[in-house]
Structure formats: structure tokens, C-alpha cells
Amino acid sequence: MQENPLERRLGPPLRFFALLAGYGILAITLLVGIEIVLRRLFDLSLQGADEYGGYALAVITSVGAAYALLERGHTRLEILTERLPAAVRALLNGASALLLAAMASFLAWRAVVAVQESIEYQSLSGTPLMTPLWIPQSVWAGGMILFALVAVAIALHCLLLSVRNWRAVDRWYGIKTLSEEIREASRSGSGPGAEPTTPAPRAITRGEVGA
């Protein structure tokens, strides 16, 4: 099966950011665990653990949204769409890509505006640390911009494919088929680059399984 050129180019850097986000979640978990133990046993507290944990979660969410979008990991309602004709599915997937690009661009714009307002008004967090809000907001806004750039790139690619090869819209940006999920699970279980032990001769949808 032909590989998605956009995923081939954007995949490596987005996976790197996703890996950093994963380590960020691990760091937050350890920090909160230490905070609980210190409060429980020694009546001590790590000042700012909850505050900076919230900042980190916001950044991780924005960065993770970009990676999940490229990997088609966002939740979709597939009960009806998988039973529609291929042309209709391609049209709906293209329309959803355009709408998502518009929404992501709006969110990125509002994130930048929030940073500008925090700088202008010299806003501080309402905690004893009094963190200048523009610092965590800038990192969060960077993640939202990354999400918007990926969404716009996918939307433009869908528009191009709608003229050149409309079937690829559904194949590359539609709901993952069961065979694709099996291949991904096989690779993750057998190590990087491993091939599935039982290759699927064709794409199998969940609708065919439940029929």
C-alpha cells in the first residue's frame, strides 16, 4: 500500500514531540506522587507541584493533539460512516479536515492573543509562586500552533487529493481499518520495524466484522 507522503515527512518530528510529552506525563506523575508522600508522612509540600503540573498538562495536550491528528487517533463516530459509499466517506473526511483546520487555527490565534495579553498586563498566577503567566502560556501556544499547522497541512493535502486521487482521502485520513490496527499492534508487540506475522490481503472494516 502506498505510504502517505505527509505522514512520512511530519511523522518523525511529531513522534519526537509526542515522546517528550510522554516523559512529561511521567514527570508529573512522579512529582504528584512525591507531593502526596511528603504531605502524608512529613507534613511538607513541594511548592508549585499542582501549579506546574497543570501547565505541563496543558502543553502535553496541545502537542499530543497534533500527533494524534496525524496518526488518526482522535475519536470518531463510525457507526454510520463505515457503511457509506467510498465517495461519500472521502467527501466527509475532507470536510472534517477543513473544519478541524479552521478550528485549530482559531484556537492557535486565541492562544497567541492570551500570551500577548499576559505580557501586556504583566499577569501573574494566583499562587504563592506568582509565576508570570506568559511563560507557560507561550509553550502552550507553541503546541497549539503546531496543532494548527498539522491540521492545515492535512486539509490542504485533502484538497489536493480530491482532485488527483480522491480515494486516498479516505485511505489516509479516514477511520483506521481493522487490518491497520492489527498491523500497528503487531509492530508494537514485535519491536520497531517488525512486520505482522499474518498479513491481511485486503483492508477489513469493523462493519464487515460485525456483519
Which residues, in sequence order, are CB contacts of 94 under 8 Å at separation 6+? 158, 159, 161, 162, 169, 173
| pLDDT attached to residue 102 | 97
| pLDDT attached to residue 198 | 46
- C-alpha separations of 24 from 41, 57, 59, 60, 111 in Å: 26, 8, 9, 7, 21
| pLDDT attached to residue 170 | 81
Alpha-carbon gap, residue 119 to 61, rounded angstroms: 23
Alpha-carbon gap, residue 96 to 94, rounded angstroms: 5
SS3 of residue 132 by DSSP = strand
SS3 of residue 127 by DSSP = coil
Domain extents for the chain? 5-175, 177-211
Beta bridge partners of 35: none
| pLDDT attached to residue 188 | 63
Which residues, in sequence order, are CB contacts of 33 under 8 Å at separation 6+? none
| pLDDT attached to residue 153 | 94
Which residues of the chain are modeled with pLDDT < 70? 1, 177-181, 184, 187-211
- The burial of 202, by beta-carbon neighbours within 10 Å (0-12 exposed, 13-18 middle, 19 or more buried), is given as exposed
Is 151 in contact with 114 (CB distance < 8 Å)? no
| pLDDT attached to residue 49 | 77
Q: Shortest CA distance to 105 belongs to which of 61, 161, 66? A: 66
Is 162 in contact with 90 (CB distance < 8 Å)? yes
Is 28 in contact with 63 (CB distance < 8 Å)? no
